[in-house]
Amino acid sequence: MAPGPEKKKSWMPAGLGGSGKLGATIDIPLEDPRKKEKELLAWEEDLRRRELDIKQRENAMDRAGVTVEVKNWPPFYPIIHHDIASEIPIHAQKLQYMAFGSWLDVVLFLFAIIYAIFGCPLSYILWYRPLYSAMRTDSMVTFVQFFVFYSIHVGFCVIAAVTPPIIFKGKTLTGILVAIEVLTGDMFVGRVYMHFRGHR
């Protein structure tokens, strides 16, 4: 006698239409509420203990004269503590400001290098190449891409050339308004600038 086809075993558990008895109850273990309450109370006590420990440390630091430095620079995204006016003695502030200016010059020079490295290839990709392609194929989409990115580029160049104090407060970009401020503020810098411009 040939063996009959094997019966497939159901993958569903008993009580859910599987091979077990219909109507069987499923035992779901419930947590003991008293145990949960004890855990929450222990957690709350641990938080109180930690809070008390932090307050004791802060009081000890205050008594020892240790000051906690609050990050405050740069103002738009503070990552370091920097406050020359209130922390450096008055007789040394000028030297500290000069050192800070020199450091900012290095940072701005690095930003200029980054702009040169990324600005030239991006301008080629974002507006020069689309214009070239649009002129060759007379494609409206690439003309629109050119106009959008070229407008952004020209807008940035105008802002960099003028440097209005509304957008960039300080000397982040060396524009016309910053040059006028420097020329009127320091006669030596003004003379050097005019010398190299050809006005002798």
Give residue-wise pLDDT tens across range 151-181.
998 998 888 788 777 665 655 566 777 777 7
Distance CA 171, CA 179 (A): 9
Q: Is residue 97 part of a domain?
A: yes
Q: Is residue 35 part of a domain?
A: no
Number of domains in the chain: 1
Spatial CA neighbour of 72 closest among 83, 60, 59, 63:
83
| pLDDT at position 106 | 84
Q: Is the pTM value of this prediction over 0.85?
A: no
Q: Is residue 83 part of a domain?
A: no
**Whether pLDDT at 47 is above 90:** yes
- Distance set, CA 116 to CA 2, 26, 39, 134, 155 (Å): 83, 69, 60, 26, 17
**Whether pLDDT at 105 is above 60:** yes
- Which residues touch 115 (CB under 8 Å, ≥6 apart)? none
DSSP 118-183: HHHHHHIIIIIHHHHHHHHH--HHHHHHHHHHHHHHHHHHHHHHH--TTTS-SSSS--HHHHHHHH
**Which structural domain range is residue 103 located in?**
91-197
